[in-house]
Each structure stands twice: as structure tokens, then as C-alpha cells.
């Protein structure tokens, strides 16, 4: 897709195109160029088209007003009026111009001497070239970010991550401590292909949005993508969108696109300088298909990264943050807000994590299953309250004497006196591991 402002920049000199109104909509993208003379054919538009008309039917009263209303209903991108034989500029009502301006819908005037076929052929060629380039770019980015496991016999490649941890002192940032990334051969190929295409990306985050366990139907993907792109274009951002089976990924460059980036129109509180996925969430949710409740949409964002090779790590972080948002029934979580859970969320060896949790809690779980007891729950509350019998009783809705009996039984089974700081840490850490393993393996709603 091409932004109208980019098309207009060239077309106003080459084809004599003139903008009558709708400056605020120039950041919109158009998906195709469509010549339309019959208002009845507007129903075939899918949204995002740049429409051209000579006004052949304009002899009918109010035709132009009805034509504009139909284009707005079908979410067309803009309208070019071919002025001369059937339409004169004086035929365009002031009220129509005002309505187009209010809808941020660009109206262009084009002289009769311009050949419509030239405009259509030129614009369509640009669209096809741009669409092919964007599709290949998104394919490579999606492949690089993909968490798919290695195929049998596929070699792994270690590359330098190049990200600098923000909390490290300068003396720590040497070659021995700089992060490394393990990529599959497929991911490394995608990374090399992007480098060959001179693809450059500044500081970025990756956000993942899930839709209540429902996939976005193919018929709904294009309208959703178009709405999100319009919002992001208004802010002058660089971004990439790609769908996964049950989610949508947004790769967002945090730096502004440039000094000439268009100012936001309907989102005055946002600007390219302060935008984040969390700040965009209210506007993004407004574009969710009607069949999906906004309450079922959850999002999560990775930490900021600078190296493209860190995109797989960003994907794991975004997925973990999104999962945490689902668990907490909150719209959005950032990976940096997960605290110590970040270590568990990105640890590749789930078997090892399960083993660590079982070493500490297995004996209590087995006892609870055999005796229908609640030792595991009681110990967690006891540790979280700093060893207070009274607070544990209140937290578990249990009598203090019952809690005291359970703690004695726990000490007997585990061999821990629950006084040593190391023992307490190991047990609390085991609970965190168990919580994460349960959350990350739970079927999505």
C-alpha cells in the first residue's frame, strides 16, 4: 500500500493533480485505483481504494453528494474528480467539500487533459511493486521472529545480539558479556536476507495481541489491518503487522519516522515521540472486529531492543507478557513489568523448571492428593506473610490452630525448619516456577 501523500507528491506535477480538501487524510494508504461512474458499483469496493470519476452521472441531482456518502460508507481512501467535460469545479457544492474535510477524506481535482489510463497504470504498477516488497519484508521478519523449534538435523547458528542491557555499568559491556542469540538456519537465512535488502531498524518493541483464543478470519484481516495502519500512519511511525494463527504481531520502531511526519489528528494525546503499544491500545481496540469482545483482547510488549537479531527474543518476551495479561484479566502488560517472572518466561528448558519446582513442592503435592489436604496452599501463604500464623490463617480462611498443625506437618515432610533465608527463597521460587508452568501450559480461552 502507498500513502496518499507520497502519491500526491509526484502526481501533482506529473498529472496536474490538485488537493481540494482532506489534508488530514493524506496519511491514509490506498490499496488499488478504481474508475467508477455508476454509484451502484460502489458496493463492490472492499475499502482503501483510490477512486477516479469523470462525473458522467453528475447530471442527476445530488449525484455527487450521494456518491461521496457511498464512498465513505465503503471506507474508500480518496476521490479524484476529473474536471472538464462532465464536471466543473463550480459544480462541487461547498457542503460536500466540508463533509469530506470533516471525514478526513481527500478530494483531488484532475484536469480533463490528463489521461486516466496513465494515472491508473502508473499507480497500479507502484502498488504492485510496493505490495511485493512489503510482503517479502514481512515474511522475512515473521520467519526471523518465529519461535518454531529446530528441525531434525538442522544446524543452530550463534550470532551476537548486540543489545546493551540498560542497567549494566559500562565496565560490564564487553565482548564476553554482550548477549548472544541462537538462531535456526531458517532464522539466520532471514536475517541475512534482510541485511542484503539493506533493511534497517532503529530501537523497537514487538507487541503481541491475542483475541480470546479466536483467530482472525481472513475476511476480517484486511479491514483490521487497514484500520490499524491508518492510526499508525497518522502518527508517522515505522511499523510492520503480521498475523499468527490466533494473534496479531506489531513490530514498532520507537523512533519517529522523520521531522516531516504528519501530526496526529484524532489522537491528540499521542505523538511519534511518546507512542508505545500500551498508549495505542484504546485506538487499536476500537478496530477489533465486531464478533470479538474488546474484553477478550489482551496484549503484551517486549522490552525495547536495538539489534534485529534480538527479534526472536522479543517474540518470546511479547508472548510472555501477553500471557500474563490474560492471566491477570488486564488489557495489556509489558515484559519489564513481570518482575522475576521474566527469567521463567524466557527460560528454554521447561523440564528443568518442572524438576526444580518438584524438588521443593512435590512431597507436599503428593500428600495433599492422597489426604485431600491443603499443605501446599498453606505453606505459600505462610511464606508470603513472613511466617505469621495469624496472617496465614486469615489469608487461608483457616483457624490459627489448624495452620499451626499444618506448618508442623510441612516441616516434618520437607525436613525444612522454614527459618533459613535460603530455604525460604528456594520454596518461594518453586511456587513462582509452578505458577508460570501452570499458566503457560493452560489451554487458551
pTM, to two decimals: 0.67
Tell me if 62 sits within 8 A of 31, measured CB to CB. no
Minimum mean pLDDT range among 96-105, 326-335, 378-387 = 326-335
Enumerate the H helices of 103-196 as residue ranges.
Answer: 116-145, 185-196
Range of the domain at 48: 2-122
More confident residue, 369 or 169: 369
Percent of the chain residues past pLDDT 70, beyond the cut: 86
User: In this structure, are 367 and 297 located in the same domain?
Assistant: no
**What is the mean pLDDT of the segment spanning 268-272?**
50
User: In this structure, are 336 and 258 located in the same domain?
Assistant: yes
Residue 254 belongs to a domain: yes
> Does residue 267 register a pLDDT over 50?
no
- Where residue 99 falls among pLDDT bands split at 50, 70, 90? very high
User: In this structure, are 213 and 311 located in the same domain?
Assistant: yes
| Distance in angstroms (rounded) separating the CA atoms of residues 75 and 96 | 17
Tell me if 51 sits within 8 A of 78, measured CB to CB. yes
Domain end point (choices 345, 364, 395): 345
Tell me if 411 sits within 8 A of 342, measured CB to CB. no
Residue 133 belongs to a domain: no
**What is the mean pLDDT of the segment spanning 56-82?**
88
User: In this structure, are 267 and 334 located in the same domain?
Assistant: yes
User: In this structure, are 48 and 102 located in the same domain?
Assistant: yes
- Backbone angles phi and psi of 370, in degrees to 5: -75, -35
**What is the mean pLDDT of the segment spanning 250-262?**
63
pLDDT given for residue 96 in this prediction: 93
Please name which of 176, 126, 150 lies closest in space to residue 9, comparing C-alpha atoms: 126
pLDDT given for residue 224 in this prediction: 79
User: In this structure, are 362 and 322 located in the same domain?
Assistant: no
Please name which of 212, 158, 165, 220 lies closest in space to residue 187, comparing C-alpha atoms: 158
CA angle 410, 411, 413 (to 5 degrees): 65
pLDDT given for residue 54 in this prediction: 92
User: In this structure, are 366 and 272 located in the same domain?
Assistant: no
> Does residue 257 register a pLDDT over 80?
no
Domain end point (choices 345, 370, 387): 345
Q: For residue 402, what is the domain's CATH number?
A: 1.10.10.2840
User: In this structure, are 258 and 201 located in the same domain?
Assistant: yes
Residue 379 belongs to a domain: yes
Sequence-separated (6 or more) residues with CB below 8 Å from residue 217: 289
> Does residue 27 register a pLDDT over 70?
yes
Minimum mean pLDDT range among 155-164, 179-188, 204-213, 330-339 = 155-164
Q: Which of 294-303, 350-359, 369-378 has the highest mean pLDDT?
A: 369-378
User: In this structure, are 234 and 194 located in the same domain?
Assistant: yes
Query: How many domains are there within the chain?
Result: 3
| Distance in angstroms (rounded) separating the CA atoms of residues 19 and 403 | 77
User: In this structure, are 199 and 322 located in the same domain?
Assistant: yes
Q: For residue 94, what is the domain's CATH number?
A: 3.40.1390.20
Residue 264 belongs to a domain: yes
User: In this structure, are 13 and 157 located in the same domain?
Assistant: no
Residue 192 belongs to a domain: yes
| Distance in angstroms (rounded) separating the CA atoms of residues 423 and 368 | 21
Residue 139 belongs to a domain: no
Domain end point (choices 345, 379, 411): 345
| Distance in angstroms (rounded) separating the CA atoms of residues 49 and 29 | 9
User: In this structure, are 339 and 355 located in the same domain?
Assistant: no
Amino acid at each position: 500500500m502507498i500513502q496518499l501523500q507520497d502519491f500526491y507528491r509526484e502526481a501533482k506535477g506529473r498529472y496536474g493533480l490538485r488537493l481540494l480538501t482532506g489534508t488530514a487524510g493524506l496519511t491514509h494508504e490506498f490499496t488499488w485505483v478504481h474508475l467508477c461512474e455508476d454509484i451502484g458499483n460502489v458496493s463492490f469496493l472492499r475499502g482503501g481504494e483510490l477512486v477516479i470519476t469523470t462525473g458522467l452521472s453528475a447530471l442527476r441531482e445530488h449525484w455527487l453528494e450521494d456518491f461521496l456518502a457511498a464512498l465513505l460508507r465503503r471506507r474508500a481512501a480518496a476521490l479524484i474528480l476529473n474536471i472538464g467535460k462532465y464536471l466543473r469545479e463550480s459544480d462541487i457544492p461547498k457542503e460536500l467539500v466540508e463533509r469530506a474535510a470533516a471525514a478526513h477524506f481527500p478530494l483531488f481535482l484532475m484536469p480533463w487533459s490528463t489521461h486516466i489510463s496513465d494515472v491508473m497504470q502508473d499507480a497500479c504498477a507502484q502498488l504492485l511493486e510496493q505490495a511485493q516488497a512489503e510482503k517479502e519484508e514481512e515474511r522475512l521478519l515473521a520467519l526471523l521472529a518465529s519461535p518454531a523449534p529446530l528441525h531434525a538435523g538442522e544446524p543452530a547458528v550463534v550470532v551476537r545480539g548486540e543489545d546493551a542491557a540498560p542497567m549494566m555499568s559500562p565496565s560490564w559491556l564487553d565482548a564476553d558479556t554482550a548477549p548472544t542469540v541462537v538462531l535456526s538456519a531458517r532464522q539466520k537465512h532471514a536475517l541475512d536476507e534482510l541485511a542484503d535488502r539493506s533493511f534497517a531498524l532503529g530501537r523497537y518493541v514487538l507487541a503481541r495481541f491475542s483475541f480470546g483464543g479466536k483467530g482472525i478470519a481472513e475476511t476480517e484481516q484486511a479491514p483490521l489491518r487497514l484500520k490499524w495502519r491508518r492510526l499508525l500512519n497518522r502518527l508517522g511511525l515505522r511499523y510492520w503487522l503480521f498475523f499468527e494463527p490466533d494473534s496479531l504481531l506489531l513490530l514498532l520502531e520507537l523512533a519517529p519516522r522523520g521531522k516531516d511526519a504528519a501530526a496526529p489528528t484524532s489522537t491528540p494525546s499521542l505523538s511519534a515521540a511518546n507512542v508505545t503499544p500500551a498508549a495505542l491500545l484504546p485506538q487499536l481496540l476500537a478496530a477489533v472486529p465486531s464478533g470479538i469482545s474488546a474484553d477478550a483482547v489482551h496484549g503484551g510488549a517486549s522490552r525495547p531492543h536495538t539489534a534485529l537479531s534480538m527479534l526472536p527474543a522479543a517474540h518470546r518476551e511479547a508472548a510472555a507478557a501477553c500471557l500474563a495479561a490474560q492471566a491477570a484479566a488486564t488489557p495489556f502488560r509489558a515484559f519489564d513489568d513481570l518482575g522475576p517472572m521474566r527469567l521463567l518466561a524466557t527460560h528454554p528448558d521447561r523440564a528443568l523448571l518442572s524438576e526444580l519446582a518438584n524438588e521443593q513442592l512435590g512431597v507436599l503435592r503428593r500428600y495433599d492428593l492422597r489426604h485431600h489436604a491443603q499443605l501446599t496452599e498453606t505453606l505459600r501463604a505462610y511464606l508470603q506473610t513472613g511466617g505469621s500464623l495469624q496472617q496465614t490463617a486469615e489469608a487461608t480462611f483457616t483457624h490459627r490452630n489448624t495452620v499451626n498443625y499444618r506448618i508442623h506437618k510441612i516441616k516434618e515432610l520437607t525436613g525444612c525448619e522454614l527459618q533459613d533465608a535460603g530455604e525460604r527463597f528456594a520454596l518461594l521460587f518453586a511456587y513462582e516456577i509452578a505458577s508460570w508452568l501452570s499458566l503457560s501450559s493452560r489451554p487458551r480461552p
